[in-house]
């Protein structure tokens, strides 16, 4: 097939994109643990949802497991940025594992809200995706009080004990617009439903959605770099399509780009999920440049300055060494 190649081709790169403070902290925690204690370091679940990050850490000596029971007794295990339920902490303690908890502080904040409202005997409607690790971890804080609401269609099915004593919380990586719709529908059904004390959808998820909206309106095609188990990356594809991009695709890396996507396209938008290292975006830009997309503009919508300190279990040992 002969491809139509326009003469002027440009790329709009969203900013902010890529690593958020919680992902950076979790990845650095595993790297520092490897340096400090030596390989192997066990990690329960993918430390962050990105294939490249996991492979890179594996090459340095990290061993990824699904459950703590796979970790030999007495060894070090890192809990991922998505958080774990209290049952996982208890199991690790039983097996005498040394734990480093890399749960993002913004996920911990949601856990604390869940504990507080459950302590006051509220039913908690947790908006999130069934089976996602973060949802499992948060639900485990108060399994008798939390009811999962997985999208708009679940609103009519959810059952509560007392419609007058209800609060909603959410996963940190959802679509802001879709969550607002779900909450509005929940409030039609449960007018006394109360809001969380502050946003559960984290700053990084929100900012990346704002940034992709800006480039989507001017792009025929938006490429989102991210793995397909990354919730926030998948939401960026949806948001791009809803805000003007004729097409939007999620790619793990540059090799996943199909040449025919670029046929007849003059402007490509590029962004990346919160668990994606910048080198993967650079490879995508190089691939696009090889197709004549060499006019690259970064479109900054929000400035980000958030940083988190490393997990305290690690900081303590790094200080004394």
**Chain residues in the site for ligand SF4 (CB under 6 A):** 20-23, 81, 104, 106-107, 172-173, 202, 204-205, 232, 274
Query: CB-wise, 203 or 249, nearer to ligand SF4?
Result: 203
243 among annotated binding-site residues: no
Q: How far apart (Å, rounded) are the C-alpha atoms in residues 88 and 302?
A: 37
Q: Which of 2, 58, 69, 134 is catalytic?
A: 134
d(CA 113, CA 166): 13
Using the minimum distance from each CB to ligand SF4, give the nearer residue, 180 or 188. 180
The candidate with the shortest Cα–Cα distance to 301, out of 199, 200, 181, 216, is 216
Q: Using CB atoms within 10 A of its CB, is residue 38 exposed (0-12), middle (13-18) or buried (19+)?
A: exposed
Q: Which candidate, 141, 145, 193, 150, places its Cα nearest to that of 175?
A: 150
Which C-beta is closer to ligand SF4: that of 207 or that of 219? 207
Q: Give yes or no: 134 in active site.
A: yes
Q: Is 312 labelled a binding residue? A: no
Q: Which residues pair with 272 in a beta bridge?
A: 225
Q: How far is the CB of 45 from ligand SF4 (least distance, A)?
A: 13
129 labeled part of a ligand binding site: no
- In the complex, minimum distance from the CB of residue 287 to ligand SF4, in angstroms, rounded to a whole number: 26
Q: In the complex, what is the shortest distance from the CB of residue 136 to ligand SF4, in angstroms, rounded to a whole number?
A: 15
Report whether 20 belongs to an annotated binding site. Answer: yes
Spatial contact of 151 and 182, defined as CB atoms under 8 Å apart: yes
Compute the least distance from the CB of residue 79 to ligand SF4, in Å: 13
Which residue lies nearer to ligand SF4 by CB, 97 or 202? 202
**Shortest approach of ligand SF4 to residue 173 CB, angstroms?**
5
- Residues with Cβ within 8 Å of 186's Cβ and at least 6 positions away in sequence, in order, are 125, 149, 155, 168, 193
CA distance 80 to 229: 14
CA distance 309 to 104: 10
The residue number with the shortest CB distance to ligand SF4 is 22
Which one, 11 or 107, has the nearer CB to ligand SF4? 107
Element (H, E) at 57: helix 51-60
Interatomic CA distance for residues 71 and 65, integer angstroms:
7
Q: Dihedral (C-alpha) 199, 128, 173, 309: value to the nearest 10 degrees? A: 70
Binding-site annotation, residues for isopentenyl diphosphate: 49, 82, 132, 230-232, 275
Binding-site annotation, residues: 20, 49, 82, 104, 132, 172, 202, 230-232, 275
Binding-site annotation, residues for [4Fe-4S] cluster: 20, 104, 202
The residues annotated as belonging to the active site are: 134
Binding-site annotation, residues for dimethylallyl diphosphate: 49, 82, 132, 230-232, 275
């Amino acid at each position: 097939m002969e491809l139509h190649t326009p003469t002027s081709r440009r790329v709009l790169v969203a900013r902010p994109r890529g690593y958020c403070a919680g992902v950076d902290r979790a990845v650095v925690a595993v790297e520092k643990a490897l340096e400090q204690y030596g390989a192997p370091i066990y990690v329960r679940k993918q430390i962050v949802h990105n294939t490249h990050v996991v492979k890179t850490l594996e090459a340095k000596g990290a061993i990824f497991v699904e459950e703590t029971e796979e970790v030999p007794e007495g060894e070090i295990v890192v809990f991922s940025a998505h958080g774990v339920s209290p049952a996982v902490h208890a199991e690790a303690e039983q097996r005498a594992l040394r734990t480093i908890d890399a749960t993002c502080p913004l996920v911990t904040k949601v856990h604390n809200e869940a504990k507080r409202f459950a302590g006051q005997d509220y039913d908690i409607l947790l908006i999130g995706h069934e089976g996602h690790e973060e949802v499992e971890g948060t639900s485990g804080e108060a399994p008798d009080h939390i009811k999962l609401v997985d999208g708009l269609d679940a609103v009519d099915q959810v059952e509560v004990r007392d419609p007058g004593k209800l609060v909603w919380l959410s996963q940190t990586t959802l679509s802001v617009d879709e969550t607002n719709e779900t909450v509005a529908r929940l409030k039609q059904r449960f007018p006394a439903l109360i809001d969380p004390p502050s946003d559960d959808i984290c700053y990084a998820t929100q900012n990346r959605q704002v940034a992709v909206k800006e480039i989507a309106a001017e792009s025929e095609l938006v490429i989102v770099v991210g793995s397909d188990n990354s919730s926030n990356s998948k939401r960026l594809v949806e948001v791009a399509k809803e805000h003007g991009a004729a097409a939007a695709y999620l790619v793990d890396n540059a090799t996943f780009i199909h040449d025919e996507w670029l046929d007849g396209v003059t402007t490509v938008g590029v962004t990346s999920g919160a668990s994606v290292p910048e080198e993967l975006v650079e490879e995508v830009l190089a691939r696009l440049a090889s197709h004549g997309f060499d006019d690259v503009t970064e479109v900054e919508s929000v400035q980000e300055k958030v940083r988190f300190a490393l997990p305290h279990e690690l900081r303590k040992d790094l200080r004394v060494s």
